[in-house]
Amino acid sequence: MVVAFLLTLRRLGVSRPSTWIALSLLAFPTAWALVIGQAQVPVTYLLTVGSPAAVALAANLKILPLLAAVYWLGRRDTRSLARLAAWLLALGLVQLVLEPSGSIAFLGTLNTGQVGDVRNLSPYTLSPMLWAVLVAAGAALALALSRTRIGWAAAVALGIFAAPRLLAYSFATLLAGLSGRVDAVHDESSDHGRA
């Protein structure tokens, strides 16, 4: 967990003031995730990497990071979407071969039964309908922002806030919104300038 956290900081840039500002704002959820050994820490690192393989692996740890794919959907990046699908399929097949009964049993956990009696910060606890409307609005917003400078951050935020069971440590993953996906936007705009 500590290594994943340090890799996240390195990837975000330890000399960037924005990294330290974001980390100070997210200090409590980040510290909590580290202390309890929550999978949110490696998920955050994988989303800072931001490749289709990394997002597929993050989605294997926690399902909702898969929603970051809205970034590629909005950019009409079919190559990244195809690579994501291939990685998801490959990981699923490996799991099925290595642990068939556990892989099949996992499908039974994909319900709201885990919402449970915890300090849930999701609007789902107020109204599942309100939650669904807000998730749909968030998806539309992330899709609309996908071609902008904050597109990756919006996609990462969607993967966090769409959870029907939203616990405070989940907010640590907002750090991944600062990742190098912005560089991809700059690379494309500089390519257009050379054309």
Q: Which tens digit of pLDDT belongs to each residue from 118-173?
A: 788 899 989 999 999 999 999 999 999 999 999 999 999 999 999 998 989 999 99
> What is the pLDDT at residue 22?
93
Say how far apart CA 26 and CA 130 lie, in whole Å. 26
Query: Alpha-carbon distance 152 to 142, whole Å?
Result: 8
Domain contains 167: yes
* The one-letter amino acid at 2: V
| Helix (H), strand (E) at residue 85 | helix 78-98
Q: What is the pLDDT of residue 113?
A: 64
Provide the residue count of the chain: 195
Exposure of 32 in the CB half-sphere (CA atoms within 13 A): 11
Look at residue 114 in the predicted model and tell me its pLDDT.
59
Placement of tokens 């590629």 in the chain: 72
- Please tell me the predicted confidence (pLDDT) of residue 120: 85
Classify residue 195: in a domain, yes or no.
no
Q: How confident is the model at residue 104 (pLDDT cuts 50, 70, 90)?
A: confident
Confirm whether 194 is domain-assigned. Answer: no
* pTM (predicted TM-score): 0.86
Number of domains in the chain: 1
User: Would you give the DSSP letter of residue 66?
Assistant: G
Asked if residue 153 belongs to a domain, the reply is yes
More confident position, 130 or 191: 130
Domain carrying residue 105: 2-188
**40-69 tens-digit pLDDT:** 999 999 999 999 999 999 999 999 999 999
